[in-house]
Amino acid sequence: MTCGINTYQSLKKWKDEQILNFRSDAYALNEFHDRVMKTVFEIALDRMNNEKLPSWKLAWFATGSGGRKEQGFLSDQDHGLVYEAEDPEAATYFLKLGEEIAEGLETVGYPYCEGKVMSSNPIWCRPLVEWKEQISDWMDEESWQTMRNLHIFYDSRALAGEKEYIGELKSLIHNRINNNPNLLSRLMETSMHMKNAVGPLGQLLPEEKGTHQGELDLKYTAFIPYVNAIRLLAIKEGIIETSTIARLEKLQDMKDYGEEMNRYKNNFATLLKWRLLTYKQTDTYDDTHFLHLKSLTKRERNELKSILRDGKKLHQFVIRTVEKGVV
Amino acid sequence: MDATFLMNSLWVMLGAILVIFMLGGFIMLEAGSTRMKNAGHIAGKTIFTFGLASLVFWAVGFGFIFGDNANFLVGLSNFFYSGAELEGLSLSSPVFFVFQLAFAGIAITIALGGFAERAKLSVYLIFTILFSAIVYPVVAHWIWGGGWLAEHGKQDFAGSTVVHLTGAMAALAATILLKPRIGKFNKDGSANNIYGHNQVYTALGVLILWVGWFGFNAGSTLSVEDGFFGFVALNTNLAAGAGAVAALIISWMVMGKSDVPTMLNGALAGLVAITASCAFVDTWASVVIGLVAGILVFYSVRFFEKRKIDDPIYALSVHGAAGIWGTLSTGFFATPELATVGKPGLFYGGGFEQLGVQFMGVAVSGLYAFAVSFIILAVAKKLMGGLRVTEEEEIMGLDLSEHGSYGYPEVFMAEENKRLSS
């Protein structure tokens, strides 16, 4: 546990004091988030143990930006639980633990996930056997919602417990895709929407209305398109790394990918850097996705444009690659 | 009675009906572009103010515009018009009266667009009376009633200035004095979108206006002679089409999105602009006039929003900016053959003379309409303890605060009433 911290409140205090030290280093910031989240988990376990100490095996995983190690200063919580035991008593216990964790994360400064991707939700808190069934069902159903669930799950990374559970579950997806490339197509169809940010005259298209007037919505014009595109390639190639940068590094070494991946990697690193640099302490979670265009130099604006244009190229590349693989 | 007289009367009566039906277009346009909680109010007040304006026009408006013994501002006969035949008309005088009344009704409806979603009902009432008595008739007299601008050869075939600009300038005075709706602008000066509740209504409103415009423009020939109304209708339709196309393209080029409200505004701007020039220009010029209007309206909307002027149904841009452009356009495009009033435009060897007249007409008429409307409303604000409903009333909506009922009762009413009325 982090130097004597044993309540959510004291953890929050420590986190708030430390976090701005990571303004220039996205990697270190995410290591820091990991440390905070793991501490939340330990405090939660501790509080549960007042009732009963289970010896059940489990994996607690983060997903979303936490799973990808791409959190900014503020981000909401996305996580789930996989456990071994299959009896009803275990189910009750782990759901309760899930609620405890979610509440703890909330107290420490990670708002609840609006989409309910949290260990307190039975869909994201199951025994390993049921998880396997659920993922199979998701792949069979191929609906918009179940494809979304697969995307979310694919960014999972174990923060505590049995790491291999997550790997085992992801390999179900790889196996299915090897036998049925159409699934990859379905995954693509449900994740390739892109908010356009460069106009036909080559101008940047900031928000027209609202409190973010004149700012660019980085989350939907840049982050999500890059993340989604690279995740698809990762699924296709069986890459189990979760961070977009790490996925790109793996892709770089593969034939058929090559040089461009390096450029995309640099682009994405720049995006992460900008998000940290523009953060103000008064920002809410929504605010952190918007880039003040006025604060950019001419060179930075051009760089941004080329990153956004590259995003489009990357999308085209992914579409071609996936379609090639489908018989 | 000769056949031409009868045919003229029939044609212009049809025009009057079409123009009055444009109110249906305004109801849908305005209600669709605003929120549900104000829908019943907006629809109802449009009918009410047209009724009121009709009475005022009968009592004094018509006499002020077309009466004899005119001074600089107005004519002074034919008050409480009896329906008697007037001299010098080649159509039934009561038909001419109804046609003119319809135009006055459109002008006040445009003006009241600037009041949307926040003015008290009593303000609508007072302003309708005074605008219809002393704002609209003066400008109409100057240009159509033989006044000083008519003597200069000012070209305004169906009223880009007389109807649209006059209405828009009154709307501008109102939006300035009323101030923006709650929630339109943020503390940091940025603007929010207050979405209209039904884009289908808005589009249907535009279509009704578009069709009604054939009465407005082609009806303004006041005769069936040579079938010239067909040419006017042709020009009208071309400009509307060009306005819609230009606005959609410009919104896509600048914002990266093909914005539907902008496109609808573009069609209307094309119609407003061609209103002055429809009888004076060639067809190709109509297309150009419409295209320019479509682009102009897009930038005009952004201009007003930047200046924190809240114009809920874009009256200032559609009727004001496009009205000015339309009036000036004859100064460029009027052809020697078609310029039955005034001179040919700049592009036809007329030099700057006609453009100068058009400019003077727009400037003086616009200023007059703005200044008098502003004074009326500023005085009303003083005397009536404000022009606006209270904040609480604005939030609950004018359907309830001003009328005690709802345009959409099932959405807003208490459970008990919902059960009974659904």
Residues of B within 8 A of A209 (CB-CB) are: 190-193
Cβ(B278)–Cβ(B157) under 8 Å?
yes
Tell me if chain A has a CB within 8 Å of the CB of B191: yes
Write the pLDDT tens digit of every residue in B221-236. Answer: 999 999 999 999 999 9
Nearest to B122 by CA among B416, B335, B388, B399: B388
CA dihedral B217, B221, B224, B226 (to 10 degrees): -100
Torsion sign (Cα): B340, B343, B347, B348: positive
B191 and A213 within 8 Å at the Cβ level: the answer is: yes
The Cα of A294 is separated from the nearest Cα of chain B by a number of Å equal to 15
Tell me if chain A has a CB within 8 Å of the CB of B256: yes
Tell me if chain A has a CB within 8 Å of the CB of B186: yes
Instruction: Show the DSSP H helices in A120-213 as ranges.
Output: 128-141, 144-154, 163-179, 182-189
Query: Tokens in use for B235?
Result: 């020009």
Q: Is the pLDDT of residue A79 over 80?
A: yes
Residues of A within 8 A of B191 (CB-CB) are: 209-210, 213
Bridge partner residues of A82 (DSSP): A59, A126
- Can you tell me whether residue A226 is helix, strand or coil? helix
| Complete DSSP assignment for B24-36 | HHHHHHHHHTS-G
Torsion sign (Cα): B198, B199, B204, B205: positive
Task: Say what angle helices A8-18 and A26-49 make with each other, to 10 degrees.
Answer: 170
Most confident of the following: A215-229, A304-318, B3-17, B186-200: B3-17
Tell me if chain B has a CB within 8 Å of the CB of A202: no
Domains in chain B, CATH or no CATH each: 10-388 (1.10.3430.10)
Of the partner residues A196, A199, A210, the one whose CB lies closest to the CB of residue B253: A199
Number of H helices and E strands in chain B, helices first, is 19, 0
Bridge partner residues of A58 (DSSP): A83
Mutate to test the interface with B, among A194, A195, A207, A211 (most CBs of B within 10 A): A211
What is the rounded distance in angstroms from the CA atom of residue B331 to the CA atom of residue B363? Answer: 14
- Can you tell me whether residue A60 is helix, strand or coil? strand
Tell me if chain A has a CB within 8 Å of the CB of B299: no
Mean pLDDT across the stretch B123-139?
98
Confidence of residue B37 (pLDDT cuts 50, 70, 90): very high
What is the rounded distance in angstroms from the CA atom of residue A153 to the CA atom of residue A235? Answer: 11
Cβ(B267)–Cβ(B244) under 8 Å?
yes
Cβ(B181)–Cβ(B394) under 8 Å?
yes
Confidence of residue B84 (pLDDT cuts 50, 70, 90): very high
The Cα of A210 is separated from the nearest Cα of chain B by a number of Å equal to 4
What is the rounded distance in angstroms from the CA atom of residue B346 to the CA atom of residue B350? Answer: 5
Give the Å distances, CA to CA, from A66 to A75, A79, A118, B48, B89: 8, 8, 12, 60, 81
Q: Is the pLDDT of residue B329 over 50?
A: yes
**CB < 8 Å from B in window 206-245 of A:** 208-214
Cβ(B179)–Cβ(B388) under 8 Å?
yes
Cβ(A69)–Cβ(A81) under 8 Å?
no
pLDDT value at residue B362: 97
What is the rounded distance in angstroms from the CA atom of residue A113 to the CA atom of residue B340? Answer: 71
pLDDT value at residue A283: 72
- Homologous superfamily assigned to A8-180: Beta Polymerase, domain 2 (3.30.460.10)
What is the rounded distance in angstroms from the CA atom of residue B363 to the CA atom of residue B367? Answer: 6
Q: Is the pLDDT of residue B420 over 70?
A: no
| Complete DSSP assignment for B228-274 | HHHHHHHHHHHHHHHHHHHHHHHHHHHHSS--HHHHHHHHHHHHHHH
Mutate to test the interface with B, among A209, A217, A221, A283 (most CBs of B within 10 A): A209
Q: Is the pLDDT of residue B85 over 60?
A: yes
- Can you tell me whether residue A268 is helix, strand or coil? helix
- HSE-CB at B202 with a 13 A cutoff on CA atoms is 22
Question: Which burial class, exposed, middle or buried, applies to B292 when counting CB atoms under 10 A from its CB (0-12, 13-18, 19+)?
Answer: buried
Residues of A within 8 A of B257 (CB-CB) are: 196
The bridge status of strand A215-217 relative to strand A157-161 is unpaired
Bridge partner residues of A161 (DSSP): A59
Q: Which amino acid makes up residue B253?
A: M
Tell me if chain A has a CB within 8 Å of the CB of B255: yes
Q: Number of A to B CB contacts under 8 A, please give it.
A: 34
pLDDT value at residue A2: 54
pLDDT value at residue A185: 92
Write the pLDDT tens digit of every residue in A274-290. Answer: 888 777 766 776 777 88
Mean pLDDT across the stretch B359-374?
98
Nearest to A124 by CA among A71, A115, A159: A115
Of residues B187 and B381, more confidently modeled: B381
Among A210-219, B48-57, B272-281, B290-299, whose mean pLDDT is lowest? A210-219
- Can you tell me whether residue A11 is helix, strand or coil? helix
Mutate to test the interface with B, among A201, A203, A204, A213 (most CBs of B within 10 A): A213
Of residues B337 and A293, more confidently modeled: B337
Q: Which amino acid makes up residue A22?
A: F
The Cα of A203 is separated from the nearest Cα of chain B by a number of Å equal to 8
Mean pLDDT across the stretch B270-284?
98
Q: What is the average pLDDT value for chain A, to the nearest integer?
A: 90
pLDDT value at residue A50: 63
Q: Flag whether the pTM goes above 0.90.
A: no
Most confident of the following: A184-198, B187-201, B256-270: B256-270
What is the rounded distance in angstroms from the CA atom of residue A79 to the CA atom of residue A58? Answer: 13
Residues of A within 8 A of B186 (CB-CB) are: 210-211
Tell me if chain B has a CB within 8 Å of the CB of A9: no
Q: Give the phi and the psi of residue A115 in degrees, each rounded to 5.
A: -85, 5
3-state SS of chain B: helix, strand, coil percent to 5? 70, 0, 30
Instruction: Show the DSSP H helices in chain A as ranges.
Output: 8-18, 26-49, 64-67, 88-108, 128-141, 144-154, 163-179, 182-189, 218, 224-237, 244-252, 259-277, 298-325
Mean pLDDT across the stretch A110-126?
95
Tell me if chain B has a CB within 8 Å of the CB of A197: yes
Tell me if chain A has a CB within 8 Å of the CB of B252: yes
Cβ(B216)–Cβ(B15) under 8 Å?
yes
Query: Tokens in use for A228?
Result: 């989604």
Of residues B261 and A195, more confidently modeled: B261
What is the rounded distance in angstroms from the CA atom of residue A164 to the CA atom of residue B376? Answer: 79
Query: Tokens in use for B135?
Result: 């704002």
Q: Is the pLDDT of residue A326 over 60?
A: no
pLDDT value at residue A327: 42
Residues of A within 8 A of B252 (CB-CB) are: 200
The Cα of A204 is separated from the nearest Cα of chain B by a number of Å equal to 9
pLDDT value at residue A123: 97
Q: What is the average pLDDT value for chain B, to the nearest integer?
A: 95
Looking at chain B, the whole-number percentage of residues with pLDDT higher than 90 is: 92
Query: Tokens in use for B222?
Result: 């006041």
- Give the largest CA-CA distance in chain A: 64
Q: Give the phi and the psi of residue B314 in degrees, each rounded to 5.
A: 60, 30
A210 and B193 within 8 Å at the Cβ level: the answer is: yes
Torsion sign (Cα): B146, B151, B154, B157: positive
pLDDT value at residue A3: 58
Give this complex's ipTM. 0.73
Looking at chain B, the whole-number percentage of residues with pLDDT higher than 70 is: 98
